[in-house]
Amino acid sequence: MKTKITEMFGIEHPIIQGGMHYVGFAEMAAAVSNAGGLGIITGLTQRTPENLRKEIRRCKEMTSKPFGVNLTFLPAITPPDYPGFVRTIIQEGIKIVETAGNNPSQVMPFFKEAGVKVIHKCTSVRHSKKAEAIGCDAVSVDGFECGGHPGEDDVPNFILLPRAAEELKIPFVASGGMADGRSLVAALSLGAEGMNMGTRFMATKEAPIHQNVKDALVKATELDTRLIMRPLRNTERVLNNAGVDKILAMEKEKGTNVKFEDIIAQVGGVYPKIMQQGDMDAGAWSCGMVAGLIHDVPTVKELIDRIMTEAEDIIGKRLKGMAAA
Ligand SMILES: Cc1cc2nc3c(=O)[nH]c(=O)nc-3n(C[C@H](O)[C@H](O)[C@H](O)COP(=O)(O)O)c2cc1C
């Protein structure tokens, strides 16, 4: 399939694997890129620019196809070494960066000068327009359904995507709730040039995470995610578990007075415990409503091939047949 996104990134299928903390290691990114999509290494999981350099080099050994790096700009008391991460990305010859969180305007001149294409993840039309204005090449439009941080506007993709199409000149991909060929065709219909998936890629053979996480995703339904940290205006969609129950109880008790310190035990540093040790009640981990559409753990290639076959069938048979009748 050819879209503006496959052309821009030099990939075969318009499917991107979004950055995922403690999931987006070289194994994940290489598997997606080898299957014809765009794999992305999560920069901050590597903690230091030197570790990221090693991870990029590992990925290069696993694939000769294009892959990208995610750089998430979070408000932090002690910020990560962002200039160092940017330098490493450029020095290692990475040509695609997915930015997320705060507006990446400060790093744009460096990436532009190095010929790096930037796709910024946005949860609103106004942030998407801002990304376009500061020179981003594309945006990933993340609807309310998404795993991770959906923002505070709560606009689902059935509205957000066509609104983005009305306002943007640069291409965008649909993100949040994407799982299969139906999602891809719907996304294209609503104006997107492809789709970005997070949660769905976790339930694959190659995802370098504990089997307990994959089993939890297959078992979960669309009713099993919760929104935490809303009173902090840092809303995150996570899979419900005992740790999440504690966060929600604390938020209920303290209302708008709840502080990050009140829930730190369930949100700070829990990813390694969950993703690597499989301790499923350790705390909050990002997960989309799309869990309800995940029923198996295929290889990445099986998943991507299935998506493309299904999408082509829907377009070429179902829709074409309806239109012709
Ligand atoms: C476990 C997990 C961790 C994530 N970590 C990050 C991250 O570090 N940076 C980021 O930009 N997005 C992160 N995301 C968001 C994804 O890149 C993607 O935008 C989101 O998962 C799309 O929604 P979906 O899960 O419905 O596919 C994460 C998502 C998940 C499920």
Residue partners of 130: CB distance under 8 A and separation at least 6? 103, 122
159 plus 223 within the same structural domain: no
164 plus 180 within the same structural domain: yes
Is the Cβ atom of 145 under 6 angstroms away from ligand 1? yes
Could you tell me the distance, in angstroms and rounded to a whole number, from the CA of residue 202 to the centre of ligand 1? 10
197 plus 265 within the same structural domain: no
Count other Cβ atoms within 10 Å, centred on residue 56.
Answer: 22
* In a domain? residue 59: yes
* In a domain? residue 192: yes
109 plus 130 within the same structural domain: yes
Is the Cβ atom of 291 under 6 angstroms away from ligand 1? no
Say if residues 94 and 58 touch (Cβ distance below 8 Å).
no
Q: How far apart are alpha carbons 325 and 320 in whole angstroms?
A: 9
202 plus 216 within the same structural domain: no
* In a domain? residue 295: no
**In this predicted structure, what is the pLDDT of residue 78?**
84
Alpha helices in the chain (DSSP H): 4-9, 26-34, 49-62, 82-91, 108-113, 125-133, 157-167, 181-189, 199-202, 211-219, 242-254, 260-267, 271, 300-313, 320-324
Task: Indicate which residue's Cα is closest to atom 11 of ligand 1.
Answer: 100
Q: How far apart are alpha carbons 318 and 208 in whole angstroms?
A: 36
Task: Indicate which residue's Cα is closest to atom 5 of ligand 1.
Answer: 20
Residues 277, 243, 218, 230, CA torsion sign: negative
**In this predicted structure, what is the pLDDT of residue 177?**
98
Which residue ranges in the chain fall short of pLDDT 70? none
**In this predicted structure, what is the pLDDT of residue 135?**
98
256 plus 311 within the same structural domain: no
Angle at CA 29, nearest 5°, toward 25 and 35? Answer: 150
* In a domain? residue 88: yes
194 plus 265 within the same structural domain: no
Is the Cβ atom of 147 under 6 angstroms away from ligand 1? yes
108 plus 230 within the same structural domain: no
Could you tell me the distance, in angstroms and rounded to a whole number, from the CA of residue 317 to the centre of ligand 1? 33
State which residues form the domain around 13: 4-209+300-324
**In this predicted structure, what is the pLDDT of residue 75?**
77
181 plus 201 within the same structural domain: yes
* In a domain? residue 294: no
Kindly report whether the global pTM for this prediction surpasses the value 0.95: yes
Q: How far apart are alpha carbons 203 and 275 in whole angstroms?
A: 12
Is the Cβ atom of 287 under 6 angstroms away from ligand 1? yes
* In a domain? residue 243: yes
148 plus 278 within the same structural domain: no
| Cα 16 off chain centre by | 8
Task: Indicate which residue's Cα is closest to atom 21 of ligand 1.
Answer: 198
Could you tell me the distance, in angstroms and rounded to a whole number, from the CA of residue 138 to the centre of ligand 1? 17
Could you tell me the distance, in angstroms and rounded to a whole number, from the CA of residue 321 to the centre of ligand 1? 36
78 plus 215 within the same structural domain: no
Q: pLDDT of 7-65, one tens digit each?
A: 999 999 999 999 999 999 999 999 999 999 999 999 999 999 999 999 999 999 999 99
When divided into structural domains, the chain yields a total of 2
Q: What CATH number is attached to the domain comprising 198?
A: 3.20.20.70
* In a domain? residue 279: yes
User: What φ, ψ does residue 308 adopt, rounded to 5°?
Assistant: -70, -40
Which structure tokens are listed for 135? Answer: 């020179």
Ligand 1 nearest-atom number relative to CA 140: 19
Task: Indicate which residue's Cα is closest to atom 20 of ligand 1.
Answer: 198
**In this predicted structure, what is the pLDDT of residue 125?**
98
172 plus 79 within the same structural domain: yes
Say if residues 299 and 205 touch (Cβ distance below 8 Å).
yes
